[in-house]
Each structure stands twice: as C-alpha cells, then as structure tokens.
Amino acid sequence: MEEDKKQRRRQGHPLLRGGGARKEPYTHGFSATQMMALTAVCGVLVPSLPPDAHHLAADKAVRDFFLASAADPPVPDEVAQLMSAMCLREALTLVRTVLWLLGTRLGTLALCGARCLSWSSPFVQRFAEMPVDRREDALRRWSRETMLPPLRLFFLLVKVFCLYVFYSWTDENSENPHWRAIGYSPATDEAPEQEEQANTKRPLDDGVVETIHHTDASLPIRLAEKGLAVTEDAARNVCRIECDVVIVGSGCGGGVAAAVLAGAGHKVVVIEKGNYFTARDYTSIEGPSMSQLYEYGGFVSTLSGSGLLLAGSTVGGGSAVNWSACIKTPDSVRKEWAAAHGLPLFDKSEYTAAMDVVFKRLGVTSGCKEEGLQNKVLRKGCEKLGYKVEPVARNSSEGHYCGSCGYGCRTGDKRGTDTTWLVDAVARGAVILTGCKAEKLLFTDAAGARGKRCVGVVATSSNPAITRKLEVRAKVTVAAGGSLLTPVLLRGSGLKNPHIGKNLHLHPIAMAWGYFPPDKMPELRGKMYEGGIITSLHKVEAAGDGLPHRAILETPLMGVAAAGTQFPWVSGRDMKERMLNYGRTVHIFSLVRDRGSGTVHGERRIAYHLDPVDRENQREGLRRALRILVAAGATEVGTHRSDGQRLSCKGATDEEVEEFLDGVTGVRGPQSKSENWSLCCTAHQMGSCRMGATAGDGAVDARGESWEAERLYVCDGSVLPSAVGVNPMITIQSVAYCLATGIAEQLKRDPSSGRNHSTD
C-alpha cells in the first residue's frame, strides 16, 4: 500500500514533482559567515525541541517533528537559494547585510544588545554563538521593532522563506519529513485515469507549440506546420511570424479573446510565458506547483513588503489555479460603472448575455454535494447567528470534492480557460506559444487620430536553445497579461497615458482562524485543505439600507507551507504547535472592495497602501468572521497579527469575547509604525489599465483600445474601472467576451486595416 502510494506520487510532470537532494551546487552566493548566521536564525524560527509531556505519548512522527530543526541541512542552503531567486534586489541586500552583521561581534552587539553578552572571554558573542532562548528573544524583538523598520523586514523575510522551505521541501519520493506528524497528505491517489490519460492527446495538443522543447532550427518548422507564415532573418537573428491577431497571455482575458477571435475566422497566435500542464501533470505538491504555476513562484510582494500577491503564470493563467468561485458582476457595480464611469456597456443586455455565455461555457454548477470543513464551519456559524449564507457556483461538477485546485486540478474536473476557451480557440486554428514572453509592442506611424498603430509584438523564449527573437506581426494586438504585467508591457513599449499602471485594486484580505479539535463534532469532519475551496460566502452588510456590503467572507486554500508563512510567529514552540493543529484550523477571510488603490511601477514593483476606510471595513469583516468561528464551536480563535492574537473560547463569557473582538484591528503592514502588524494576501488584481470614457479618465477606451495606438487592445482584469467586490473571474471573462466581440466586428467591417477612424 505504502509502496503503491509512492509510485503514484512520483507521477505527474517532472517540473511539478518534489526535488529531493539538489544535484547542482548552490548558487546563492551567501558567504560562509552569512550562512552560519542564517542557520542560527533558522534554528530559532524552527528549533529542535524536547517534546512536551503531552506529546511524549504521541507517536514517533510527532516526537521527530518536535526534534527537527530548520538549522538542519538542506534547509538553510535552500532558504538562501530561494531568497536569491525570489527576493527583490533591495530586500536581498538587506538580508545579506544583516546576516553579515550577525556574523560579527560588533554587529551582533548592535542588533541584539545585552542579549549577546556573556561572562567569559571574549564577552560578546556572535549571533550563532548565543543560546537559543536569547536568540529567540532577539527575533521576537525584531518582529516588534518600530524604531528600526529594516530589522522587522529582515525578520519577516527570513521567517517567510525559512518556514516555506521547511514545510514544502520534498525528498526524492515527493515526501516532506514533517507532513506525517502534521497529518497532511496532499491528494495523490485521486486521479484514477492517470495511466490512461498518459497516452492520450492533451486538450490543446493541436495548437500548442512549447518552446521549451524546441531549438532555433525546429521552432520555425513547427510553427509553419501550424499554418503560420514564418520568415527568418538570420542577420538580425529574428524569426518573423504573420497572423491576424496576436494575444499576449492565456489567462481569463486572453483565453476568452482567443476563442472569440479564432471563432470569427481570424488566425490567432497566443503568447504565454508560462508552460503547459494538464490534469495528468499536476501533483498537488505545493512547492514545485507554486514555483511552476504562479507568478514568481507565489513570491510577488508589494514594495513595502506588506502585501503578498498571487497570480497564475501558466497556460490558463489565473484560471488554471483559481479557486473556482464563479460569481457574476453585482448589479450595483454594473450600474456604478455605467453611470459614474460613463461606460454604457455594463448596463446593456449584451453584458448580461456575455455573463450567461461565460457561465455556460464553464459549465458552472451551483449545487455542491458535500462541502469541505471550512465551508461547513462558515455555514454553521452563520446559521447559528442568523446571518445569510450564499452558495457559490463553481465550474466544476457538483460532486467535485478537491481542495487542491489551487495547484492545478488533478481530476481535470475544474474548468479553467485551458480546458474551455483555449480548446475552442485551438479547434479554430489558434496557435499557443508557451514558455515565451512578450517584451515589446511594435508600432508604426498612422494617419488616424491616434497617430500610432500597433503592428505586433516582439517576444523571447525562456529556453536558452532559442536565441532568435520572435517578431509576431498582426493586424490586431491584444494585451492580456493580467493587471500586474499588462501595464509593464505598455509602459515598456513607450506608451504614456498616465492611467497605465495606476488604479490597481487588490481586494485586500485579512484572515481569521478557529481551531476545531478532531472527533468532537461529527458534522464537522475532514481536514481544512479538503473539499471545494469556496462553496459558501457571507456578505457583511452595512448599517444602512441599500448601502453596499462592507466585506465578504470566504474560505481560502492554504497549503501547509503557505500556512507556515502566514501564521504569526511568536516563538519556535508556539509555531510548531500551530502547525500540528493545521489540518483542523479553519480559516475565514474578510475581503473588501477596495476604494483605495495602488500603482504598478514595473515588473514586481508594486506600491499599495490600504485606505483607512477599507481597513475599517476589513476589520468589521474580520470581527464577523471571528464571531462565526466562535458560534460554530471553535475551541480557540485568532487572527494572523504578529503578536499571535488569540482567544481560548472554552468557558469564555460573552464579555470576554466582546473584549477580544474590540482588540481586533484591520491589517497594518510590517512597515507601519504599530508594534503589531500582519501580512495582506491577495489573489485578485484589477484596474491597472482601466477603461475610460476619455483619455483623461482611463488607459483604454470603452472598447478596450489604447488611446495612444490604434489596433492595440487590452483584454484582461486591468481594464476594469474599479474593484468588483466579489471574485472577479466571471467579470473579467465577460468583459473580455464583449471586447473581443467588438474587435471581431471591427475586423469584419474593415478587414485590411482594422478600424476607420474618420467615421468614429
């Protein structure tokens, strides 16, 4: 049985399997002194502990878990390696500088004060020489540090990466040594048809060209086979491809645009920088799945370090990893966008019809046979308190009980654009170039009002065997790289409209948790990470009638490593205890429709500050989430605030609960002046190239066309005028559907030259 399980786990795409021991030498460039200090920090974050009396009785796995330390190899080197790959330059400099200081006596004295003094010569210890309890004390101080914000940021960075590696690292059998103790077993034997699937064609095989498998010589041949006109310019080292429409990005927006435009008879090329994976490739293993399927492996943060931004980066984009909540654009939001933003589209029946088409194509179902633990808790708590709970429609089947969709759905049941819209596009001759990143848009001068015309895009493959630049020439270019990257492409190509990159909305969230001991409540069976991710939601109503809700409450997918990075760290022992409870710790998050916004300054250069009104709404949602957890029977509840804010509910009086709730705050980032802080995680990015009725109001017009260059369209979440307030995928796809339909009509009216501006 055990053998059998391992066999299965080894399946899936090699890139999505666990690593095992590293074969190549580390290239992180940390010095021996820095590594010594880093190891000493890791050994405090996850220390080796003698098991407590009540854990002594527990099984061996738990005892081993308590004894294990993050100072043990290969964790520190893996941490350094991951940091050097993922951290922003200035963050890495900070980490290396602090580690360097901790490697010296003077530096340790400056950063740890009296804690590093000892009675024996040489009286001042280096960080690595200090006893564990004093090191722990120093770390706790840094985490609360308000005078020297960089120290807090250092603490945050090392904590996040150390815990991530400790809980996500896997051996050659794709097993992590601590998962047994925690009781975490990612679904591995759920895809029975894997063997059969291995020999069958993948849904996009007819149209996908995976540049990772090609060379300069083979790529043009393959492209020509797909019906594209390809010419090579050896002198400029360019491979030139001709088509009708080129689309950058294969996510929610790009996928829909590809289907609509290919369906209208145009030759479409989609450029996607991620790779192509299908159900049979997915492994549910958190570490490699994050690194392959997410933008920067899930480590995109805001410049201040206060927000962690999740975005998909694979064929299907966010839709391949999304949590399957399908929610239509609320009527109030549609009215607001039509009236206040002067965008009549949102009020039209055409938009309503588009949402229906999207629902139909995704096969959205609202029924759910059995909810997972987290949604059961949300429902139970709401019912007890007399709050309304709404079922959330999903595009998967009613019996779909799989909590790992966020790492790619292994059952193939969930429908992202990679199994829906892109399949339609490929059936109509579209070509999808993967592992290929669009770098710059190509323009020529034009006679129309905009003075400029977009004629295609230059892209490069991530495969070093392909040295040629790919010049994709098209009648129409569609940017659909998502809200974090579309503005970077536009700005990097010389466009100047001031709205490009502005108005970035994030739906910032705050987390509440409640612990439910196993075997206590038979109606609340299961583990937190099992079952449909979002099947119920609760809207936190405003005090007055007719006012929009203040926040919505939903439940997240949180892998064991993500939990390690998100849980507050107040001591090594406390963290281990929290992790042991992971499987029965239910999370509910409060999400706000943010009226505040941020700015995309460049790739991974994102600024965002939570608006005070948004923070107040977030706090209201957080308090409501905690009430729901208490009502559902949690024995302990808390938030993710850095001080480890928590309340034991056993025997707590109503007054005690109220007092606790009074102390709950909205999210303040690690750079705030407050001693207590939290991280803000978001998976919804919108608005960074918003539509506007005039060039003074937005980066693109009401049909998605750039104000500066004709035949350049934006078709993704970045065109939304503001935040939607609910999960945005359906809105993004519906908008993309309408915009792409408009582009197809333009092309039909004037096939040779796109639109005729004199008749505008």
Ligand X SMILES: *[C@@H]1O[C@H](CO)[C@@H](O)[C@H](O)[C@H]1NC(C)=O
| Residues of the binding site for FAD | 243-258
* Contact between 679 and 306 (Cβ < 8 Å): yes
Under rule CB under 6 A, how many of the chain's residues touch ligand X? 26
**Identified catalytic residue from 13, 587, 640, 684:** 684
Q: Which residues are paired to 472 by β-bridges?
A: 241, 457
Residue 34 in contact with ligand X, rule: CB under 6 A? no
Could you tell me the CA-to-CA distances from 739 to 145, 253, 736 in Å, in that order? Answer: 49, 10, 5
* Contact between 484 and 253 (Cβ < 8 Å): no
CB-based closest residue to ligand X? 395
DSSP string over 426-446: HHTT-EEEESEEEEEEEEEE-
Question: Residue 220, preceding bond cis, omega within 30 degrees?
Answer: no
Residue 481 in contact with ligand FAD, rule: CB under 6 A? yes
684 is catalytic: yes
Q: Closer to ligand X by CB, 246 or 480: give it.
A: 480
Considering only the stretches 107-115, 183-191, 251-259, 333-341, report the one whose residues sit in contact with ligand FAD under the rule CB under 6 A.
Answer: 251-259
Helix or strand or coil: residue 151? helix
Residue 251 in contact with ligand FAD, rule: CB under 6 A? yes
Q: How far is the CB of 726 from ligand FAD (least distance, A)?
A: 7
Residue 313 in contact with ligand X, rule: CB under 6 A? no
Q: Which residues are paired to 719 by β-bridges?
A: none
Which of 45, 46, 269, 321: binder of ligand FAD (CB under 6 A)? 321
Q: How far is the CB of 729 from ligand X (least distance, A)?
A: 4
Considering only the stretches 33-41, 48-56, 125-133, 307-315, report the one whose residues sit in contact with ligand FAD under the rule CB under 6 A.
Answer: 307-315
- What's the rounded Cα separation, in Å, for the pair 482 and 251? 8
* Contact between 599 and 497 (Cβ < 8 Å): no
* Contact between 490 and 713 (Cβ < 8 Å): no
Q: Which of residues 168-207 bind ligand FAD (CB under 6 A)?
A: none
Which of 482, 487, 532, 666: binder of ligand FAD (CB under 6 A)? 482
Write each residue from 32 to 71 as x if it is in contact with ligand FAD (CB under 6 A), else as -, in one continuous string. Answer: ----------------------------------------
Residue 176, contacted partner among ligand X, ligand FAD, none, CB below 5-8 A by kind = none
Q: How far is the CB of 422 from ligand FAD (least distance, A)?
A: 11
Which of 203, 406, 408, 416: binder of ligand X (CB under 6 A)? 416
Which tokens is 377 given? Answer: 């808790």
Q: Which of residues 421-440 bind ligand FAD (CB under 6 A)?
A: 437-438
| Binding-site residues from annotation | 243-258
Taking each helix axis from N to C terminus, what angle separates 572-580 and 32-45, rounded to the nearest 10 degrees? 60
- What's the rounded Cα separation, in Å, for the pair 593 and 307? 16
* Total number of residues shown for the chain: 760
Residue 501 in contact with ligand FAD, rule: CB under 6 A? no
Considering only the stretches 186-194, 388-396, 454-462, 625-633, report the one whose residues sit in contact with ligand X under the rule CB under 6 A.
Answer: 388-396
- What's the rounded Cα separation, in Å, for the pair 757 and 760? 5
Spatial strand order in the sheet of 680-682: 300-301, 307-309, 680-682
Which tokens is 447 given? Answer: 């006679």
Residue 396, contacted partner among ligand FAD, ligand X, none, CB below 5-8 A by kind = ligand X
- What's the rounded Cα separation, in Å, for the pair 724 and 455? 32
Residue 501, contacted partner among ligand FAD, ligand X, none, CB below 5-8 A by kind = none
Residue 414 in contact with ligand FAD, rule: CB under 6 A? no
Residue 716 in contact with ligand FAD, rule: CB under 6 A? yes
Amino acid at 582: Y
Cβ atoms within 10 Å of 595's Cβ, excluding its own: 12
DSSP structure class, residue 122? T
Q: Which of residues 668-687 bind ligand FAD (CB under 6 A)?
A: 683-684
Residue 248 in contact with ligand FAD, rule: CB under 6 A? yes
Residue 362, contacted partner among ligand FAD, ligand X, none, CB below 5-8 A by kind = ligand X
Amino acid at 609: H
Under rule CB under 6 A, how many of the chain's residues touch ligand FAD? 43
Which of 55, 135, 394, 468: binder of ligand X (CB under 6 A)? 394
Cβ atoms within 10 Å of 278's Cβ, excluding its own: 21
* Contact between 616 and 366 (Cβ < 8 Å): no
Residue 687, contacted partner among ligand FAD, ligand X, none, CB below 5-8 A by kind = none
Residue 310 in contact with ligand FAD, rule: CB under 6 A? yes
- What's the rounded Cα separation, in Å, for the pair 236 and 220? 15
Q: Which helix (H) or strand (E) holds 300?
A: strand 300-301
Give the gyration radius of the chain's Cα atoms.
Answer: 26
Q: Closer to ligand FAD by CB, 477 or 581: give it.
A: 477
Q: Which of residues 625-664 bind ligand X (CB under 6 A)?
A: 643, 645
Which of 108, 284, 329, 417: binder of ligand X (CB under 6 A)? 417
Which of 480, 580, 606, 712: binder of ligand FAD (CB under 6 A)? 480
Q: How far is the CB of 644 from ligand X (least distance, A)?
A: 7
The position carrying tokens 């030139």 is 240
Could you tell me the CA-to-CA distances from 237 to 161, 166, 222, 455 in Å, in that order? Answer: 40, 44, 18, 19
DSSP string over 385-396: HT---EE-BBSS
Which of 145, 281, 413, 701: binder of ligand X (CB under 6 A)? 413
Amino acid at 593: R
* Contact between 571 and 358 (Cβ < 8 Å): no
Q: Which of residues 717-756 bind ligand X (CB under 6 A)?
A: 729, 733
Residue 420 in contact with ligand FAD, rule: CB under 6 A? no
Q: Which residues are paired to 598 by β-bridges?
A: 504
Residue 35 in contact with ligand X, rule: CB under 6 A? no
- What's the rounded Cα separation, in Å, for the pair 293 and 12? 14
- What's the rounded Cα separation, in Å, for the pair 256 and 159? 39
* Helix, strand, coil percent values for the chain (each to nearest 5): 40, 15, 45
Residue 310, contacted partner among ligand FAD, ligand X, none, CB below 5-8 A by kind = ligand FAD
Which of 118, 173, 397, 463: binder of ligand X (CB under 6 A)? 397
Residue 571 in contact with ligand X, rule: CB under 6 A? no
Residue 594, contacted partner among ligand X, ligand FAD, none, CB below 5-8 A by kind = none
- What's the rounded Cα separation, in Å, for the pair 343 and 714? 16
Which of 311, 343, 600, 631: binder of ligand FAD (CB under 6 A)? 311
Quick one: 637 exposed, middle or buried, by C-beta within 10 A (0-12, 13-18, 19+)? buried
Residue 273, contacted partner among ligand FAD, ligand X, none, CB below 5-8 A by kind = ligand FAD
Residue 414 in contact with ligand X, rule: CB under 6 A? yes
Q: Which of residues 4-33 bind ligand X (CB under 6 A)?
A: none
Residue 317 in contact with ligand FAD, rule: CB under 6 A? yes
Residue 98, contacted partner among ligand X, ligand FAD, none, CB below 5-8 A by kind = none
- What's the rounded Cα separation, in Å, for the pair 467 and 228? 20
Which parts of 414-561 are beta strand (E)? 431-434, 436-445, 452-461, 469-473, 476-479, 509-515, 536-540, 551-554
Which of 675, 745, 748, 756: binder of ligand X (CB under 6 A)? 675
Considering only the stretches 7-15, 31-39, 178-186, 265-273, report the one whose residues sit in contact with ligand FAD under the rule CB under 6 A.
Answer: 265-273
Residue 18 in contact with ligand FAD, rule: CB under 6 A? no
Which of 82, 252, 364, 426: binder of ligand FAD (CB under 6 A)? 252
Q: Write out the residues near ligand FAD by the rule CB under 6 A.
A: 248-254, 271-274, 310-314, 317-319, 321-325, 406, 437-438, 480-483, 485, 489, 534, 683-684, 716-717, 727-730, 732
Q: Write out the residues near ligand X by the rule CB under 6 A.
A: 252, 319, 322, 324, 326, 362-363, 365, 394-397, 405, 413-417, 643, 645, 665, 674-676, 729, 733
Q: Any idea which residues carry the catalytic annotation? A: 684
